[in-house]
Amino acid sequence: MIDYFKYAVAEDGICTLTIDQPNSATNVMNQAFLDGFRAALDRALADDRVKGIILTSAKSSFVAGADLKAMEATLYGNPDAKTLYEQCWAFSSLLRRMETGGKPVVAALNGPALGGGFEIALACHHRIAADVRGMVVGLPEVGVGLLPGAGGTQRYLRMIGVAKALPLLLQGSQLKPDKALELGLLNEVVPADQLLPAARKWLLGSPDPVKPWDKKGFQVPGGGNPMLPNLAQLFMGTAANLQANTYHNLPAPLAIASCLYEGMQLPIDKALQVECKYFVKLNLDPVAGNMVRTIFINKSEADKLVRRPAGIDRKVHQRIGVLGAGLMGAGVAYVAAQNGIDVVLIDRDQASADKGKAYSESRLRKDMARGRITADKVEAILARIHPTADYAALGDVSLVVEAVFEDRGVKAEVFAKAEAVVPVDAVLASNTSALPITGLAETTGRPANVVGLHFFSPVERMPLVEVIRGRQTGDTALAHALDFVAQLKKTPILVNDSRGFFTSRFIGAFINEGVTMVKEGINPALIENAARMTGYPVGALTISDEIGLDLAYKGAQQQAQDLGADNRPGASVEVIATMVATHGRHGRKNGKGFYEYAADGGKRLWPGLDDLWPRRPASEQPDVREVQHRMLYAQLADAARCIADGVLTDPADGDIGGCFGVGFPIYLGGPFAAMDTIGIGAVVAECDRLAARYDAGRFAIPALLREMAAEGKTFYGRNRVVPPARRTEPVA
């Protein structure tokens, strides 16, 4: 057995159990962890020398949570409910044994304690946290479609009451030490060098090793009867809010509320069993599997640069250039400077470049006013941004990000100016959202150095960067571009070159279908509401306005120019052209799009839509499910074509890109996880139905998907398909 726990008993009778997983930077929970914990706890409880127990960690964090590899095995292993319950109860009952073992236990939290790690601490009789950078505690399981399964919901309930526990659990709140102390989830916060002495001092004070809820007469703080008027109102309001915000696509929030509702009426041991049953139910639901796979497993691998070419030394970028100081360029400069990188921010004149730096200053000053950052740090960040109109300042940069207007000629012009002065090995990165990288690279003298870095707006908030490999992009440039994304603490996905790459064409399929339905006379409010009900954060018309109808119009014009006779405009292009060219409606930016925008921030659908595209009578409107399927399956079909054509080389990139880049419903886990969940055969059948009824092109599926359905293949798991090799034909 791997020994995760170091056991030491001092002369004063204090036993220190130090969690120290061998050959790992963190402690993670798996079967070896639980076996070691049980053995160490049993030993301490049976040891007559031991008067009290300190539980602490030798790592920089307390316990990092579940072992991702073990999680992945569970996902693909299809365990039955009985096995899952036994596994869950083994952990929960172990913590209960620690709680009722008759010897006081103090958790000495030397670093972050989240999820199962904090559940261990909650089962201790006292919790002390070190006041160190990055210290947080909490139960964030709802974020991956689960709930705390080792007593977290029931101990929160009994420690702070349902009114405080419910929002913390539903939001998956990660609390800083002072807030956790204020709530009563921590008992002390001390300097790091005082952590173990403080734990020892508490134990030597002869503390009571019996929790309040194990004593006669205990009452849940704030009341334990859900029929009390204030609590009944709380639960009714919560249920209504969950319906309004999630449409019950996410089962975890409702399960958490149910755990508290039922648990407050039961003794602690029975309540823990109820919690365990809900935990198992969520584990068996595909929503949790999809979210765990995409948010935890796939994203973790992407953050580790799993797609980075091997055999190339890591590049630490000290100084970069950003060409274009508009919204995107200013955002890239801001994030780079925040992460310690010097930035040469270039625009057509000094005033424009200075305006780009002012964007960073404005954001930082607001953060400083809110107490989120010190004045010294603000000045240090701003000192790293060097606005100029002089390209000669790029002489010592290792990477350039072009973030100018979405026009092939303009991009070629700024690349040429940069190429004339940057070092020979500098990466030339284009922040285009749709123009093929191969074509842009051909305008330079060093196409092997050109790569696409598609950032999302606003750059400082959006976690994703789509990294595009052109036909001639070299491994070194690609590796160094990925290193840059990692320095920005963002998640990269890697795609091969194509018009629109993956994310733009993927969100485009959603927008195209929504806008096309407007042209068909379908109620715009139905289109928007159906999208929200499916799990999209906003509807197709809203996101069109946010992106800018004028940008979509110009993009369509650029595509028509590039492709000539081969151009096949989307069904929505006619609508967009009418809105922009005829009626001057550019979207939110000029207050006129599919919506009308008021000065106070309010909005309503533009009544003129009915004049341009007469609405069908109510009796001829489609049902909600049909509208939902048109938008969802248009995206699924496009994602399948992307992987069949080699634009995507792994479904994980598509799932991460869909969920973190363009708002694909998170509970589905991305388009490929969604297709596995629905069933490949069912996806083929529904796309064929929609293609026959509406448009053969928009719902066309590749032969790969039909072959997968026939052979019982999936995108994940034991029967996963191997994606086709990278395409070799030219990219327009």
Chain segment 416-462, per-residue pLDDT in tens: 999 999 999 999 999 988 889 999 999 999 999 999 999 998 999 99
- 533-548 pLDDT, tens digit per residue, is 999 999 999 999 998 8
- Which residues carry out catalysis? 119, 141
Q: Identify the pLDDT of residue 356.
A: 95
- 134-180 pLDDT, tens digit per residue, is 999 999 999 999 999 999 999 999 999 999 999 999 999 999 999 99
Q: Identify the pLDDT of residue 732.
A: 47
In 3D space, the residue among 80, 70, 160 whose CA is nearest the CA of residue 116 turns out to be: 70
- 31-42 pLDDT, tens digit per residue, is 889 999 999 999
- 296-311 pLDDT, tens digit per residue, is 899 999 999 999 999 9
* Alpha helix (H) residue ranges in 264-394: 268-284, 286-291, 299-303, 327-338, 350-369, 375-382
Q: Where are the domains of the chain?
A: 5-292, 319-498, 504-646+649-711
Chain mean pLDDT for the chain = 93
Question: What residues does 54 pair with on adjacent strands?
Answer: 16, 106
Q: What token pair was written down for 276? A: 């365990």
pLDDT grade, residue 29 (50/70/90)? confident
Q: Identify the pLDDT of residue 667.
A: 95
- 465-518 pLDDT, tens digit per residue, is 999 999 999 999 999 999 999 999 999 999 999 888 999 999 999 999 999 999
Residue 203 pLDDT > 90: yes
Given this chain, do its domains 5-292 and 504-646+649-711 carry the same CATH topology?
A: no
CA distances to 360, 590, 634 from 518, in Å: 39, 21, 16
> Is CATH 1.10.1040.50 what the domain over 504-646+649-711 is classified as, yes or no?
yes
The backbone region for 105, taken as left when phi is positive above 0, alpha when psi lies in -120 to 50, beta otherwise, is: beta
HSE-up of residue 321 (Cα within 13 Å, Cβ side): 32
pLDDT grade, residue 730 (50/70/90)? very low
DSSP output for 448-465: GGEEEEEE-SSTTT--EE
CATH fold of 319-498:
Rossmann fold (3.40.50)
- 370-379 pLDDT, tens digit per residue, is 988 999 999 9
Alpha carbon distance 111, 62 (integer Å): 5
Which architecture, in CATH terms, is 5-292? Alpha-Beta Complex (3.90)
Q: What is the mean pLDDT of residues 48-53?
A: 96
Alpha carbon distance 441, 451 (integer Å): 8
Q: How far is CA 357 from the centre of its chain?
A: 28
Q: Which amino acid is at 14?
A: I
Q: Identify the pLDDT of residue 414.
A: 94
Alpha carbon distance 279, 277 (integer Å): 5
Q: Identify the pLDDT of residue 727.
A: 46
Q: Identify the pLDDT of residue 406.
A: 81
Residue 260 pLDDT > 50: yes
Pair type for strands 105-109 and 52-57: parallel
Residue 79 pLDDT > 80: no
Could you list the beta-strand ranges (E) of 662-706: none
Quote the crossing angle between the two packed helices 540-547 and 524-534, to the nearest 10°: 100
What does the angle CA 413 – CA 418 – CA 423 come to, to the nearest 5 degrees?
Answer: 150
What is the pTM for the complete model shown?
A: 0.91
Q: What percent of the chain has pLDDT over 70?
A: 97
In 3D space, the residue among 145, 291, 144, 245 whose CA is nearest the CA of residue 532 turns out to be: 245
